[in-house]
Amino acid sequence: MRPDETSRRAVLDAVDRLAGRLAASLSEAIRIPSVNPKYPGQDYDRVVGPEGEVARLMADLYAGAGADVELVAVEKGRDNACARIRGTGGGRSLLLNGHVDVVPPGREHKWSATPFSGQITDEAVLGRGATDDKAGTVAAAYAALALKEAGVRLRGDLVLQAVVGEEIGDHECGTTAALEAGYTADAAIVCEPSNFGEEAPNLVPVTPGLLWFSVSLEGKAAHSGLRGLTVHPTLEGEALGVNTVDKFWVVYSALRQLENEWALRDRHPLFRPGYFNILPGVLRANPEGIEVPFFLADTLTAEYCIYHHPDRTNEEVIAEVEETVRRACANDSWLRQHPPVFEWKLLWPPYTTPSGHELVASLIGAHSDAVGGFEVSTPPVQEGFLGVCDLTWLDAKGVDGLVYGPGVGRTAHAEDEYVPIHQLITAAKTYALTAMDFCGVADGEPA
């Protein structure tokens, strides 16, 4: 049976009273530039440390909610804030997981304000990490604070995690380390941004698979003045020189065609058609050790990111990609003898919430009450996740769950990242009510 409406209204009212503090705490967290020190291109020794500062901020919030708190670290300066609010007994436990690391700000001159300003307007909080993922992480802490302020005690434990490492899949330092330290539960909500736009958070029961790989080509250097003789097969051609930039289009075209095939073939009811993609995001090509265009380039490496259908395994997709490129290269005299070399750098499996999982029903009811105020049934929209998240690694440790959180997905990893304040409030309310439903409420509450 659901907790009574009086208790639920008390929690919603508590979140409304805490709304100003909620936005201020998020602003404080954003002002700490907690860029993941292992993110490609970062100087680890210069960047490491701020993740731990955000974790300590979260630990203080957890302690204020009455939690037992511990900082768990695999690497110095990269603390995970872990907490447990112990239930009275007889209920299921729930984990709220968010991450404190962020991606680099990119071209800072393109931002309207400084990337780590944490600026608060009437409608939003701005800055790197506002959407991904400090909003959800802080909202989870305020859900716990609202439960305490409303005098509600849960039967089951409420577990809180603010972890490092998510942005590059470094779960061994983050979520997995927290789980192995004992901060696990019967089910989890990963508090990542779950709406592409500014509407209320969506419920996300499925995430795609992600693969990061490089493909490298070998060419044959020659003087730039000889290009004409090398590109026309009726002349000297490949015997004289081979430009890897030209040869890359064989690979690019094959994978671009495969991407088109996926848009037609790999459909999923919770993902927009064409979502599953093969992105050539980084391209490096030059004559070995030289960066002037006076030679034919004899080296090339392209870095790709793939998002694939959740019903397919990483291994299946890897095999399809390599076979697609192999077939294309078989029709090219140079690439047939000098095939591309693949390096698979990050394999992130997909995740789907088990059908009928009780956490889904609890969150749907909680969101509806948070948005509709008990008078109108307003269930959340269900949608596939726009990226990947630590739900994969929770699943690997036997914890099922879903994604639900504040944030505007289209601003994640972009300039002028922000989160609407109404999403923050809705998320905090939904987390708190979900905990009441899923964990159960002790008799006689609220106090």
195: tokens are 């709406």
Of the listed ranges 3-12, 109-118, 198-207, the one predicted with least confidence: 3-12
Reported CATH class of domain 5-207+351-439: alpha beta
The CA distances from residue 374 to 6, 8, 16, 188, in Å, are 11, 10, 16, 25
Question: Are 434 and 187 spatial neighbours (Cβ–Cβ below 8 Å)?
Answer: no
pLDDT tens digits, one per residue of 243-272: 999 999 999 999 999 999 999 999 999 999
Predicted local confidence at residue 446, as pLDDT: 42
78-103: per-residue pLDDT in tens? 999 999 999 999 999 999 999 999 99
Peptide bond just before 79 cis, omega within 30 deg: no
pLDDT at 232: 81
Check: CB of residue 434 under 8 Å from CB of residue 223.
Answer: no
pLDDT at 443: 81
What distance separates the 2 farthest-apart alpha carbons in the chain? Answer: 90
Distance CA 180, CA 313 (A): 26
E runs forming strands in 46-186: 68-73, 79-85, 94-99, 124-126, 158-163
Q: How confident is the model at residue 376 (pLDDT cuts 50, 70, 90)?
A: confident
Confidence band, pLDDT 50/70/90 cuts, at residue 1: very low
Please check whether residue 147 is in contact with residue 11, taking contact to mean a CB–CB distance below 8 angstroms.
Answer: yes
pLDDT (average), residues 303-324: 98
All structural domains of the chain with their residue ranges? 5-207+351-439, 209-348
* Strands 400-403, 187-190: pairing kind: parallel
CA 73 to chain centre: 21
Q: Which CATH class is domain 209-348?
A: alpha beta
Residue 275 CA to residue 311 CA, distance in Å, equals 14
Q: Assess contact for 137 and 58: CB atoms under 8 A.
A: yes
Domains 5-207+351-439 and 209-348 share a fold: no
pTM, full prediction = 0.94
